[in-house]
Structure 1
């Protein structure tokens, strides 16, 4: 077996898409978007998102259009979701919801969740928002979802999970 210092299937440096590289350098806090109830719960790790402050305020996210969450939120106005900010200790959970790590028993089996009117909320996420979908549209290779924030809780920020250049990082190591 050969051990590589970089990803063996990575696109060669000179062939990489400039827009994807630009997005990778923006970086930001990793969020987990969840929706549904009971056996119909779905979720997705989202690092391409932002908050638009206004009255009311909105969360905008770029989702995988083929994801279960994308399908659930395509119902459009009135669909509900929870956007929670992940901490460094949630990185395995982030990988599971991104489809990069196995999730024995399902995505919601290994952690504690609280049912809310907006969907499942991760009990250990100190910061989260309950949202209602305002608009959904295709944008590039993504599904742009705009959600009105109905309620938000901002908790302590001990070790936020950051995503930059394709990797999870602690903010003190970014």
Structure 2
């Protein structure tokens, strides 16, 4: 499986590019968010790759960052979303913008992406809720760990899995004492959410 390619940019024809890696030219499809960051032709370039092997084709999708590639992979898991639509989404929204749109359940923002209607936007929100993290968080869907609480990420992820959004999970875990076990933390957080 190809996970990364480093070479020199030979051609760029949106959304395709040709990357020369030691004399082998790889055709790679990239979202426009990555395309806008490309260097001039002939310059060195490194891309994070998602490889798709089909019966009739070997396809490579390239991304400027690991976070963008992970977001693409999460999009592919959504019912009815293929690589072409996933690239369109990442061309219209950055990975962070998509995570915020999903977390805030902004159907209107998602519907503005070409090829995404209201029903598809609602499906994206439903299936991606809690699975996309903002750039810089270590685990997709996880909020940054709070100081002194080793289990806060686990507690937050449990709340996200139960269907609470990022904002609710953060509010419920904010006042947990340091060193709270996962079980107690979830119990206390759920009590706080019920009272809210």
TM-score > 0.5, shorter chain as reference? no
Larger radius of gyration: 2
Q: Could you tell me the TM-score, scaled by structure 1's length?
A: 0.27
Q: State the structure with bigger RCO (CA 8 A, min sep 6), 1 or 2.
A: 1
TM-score, normalised to structure 2, is 0.25
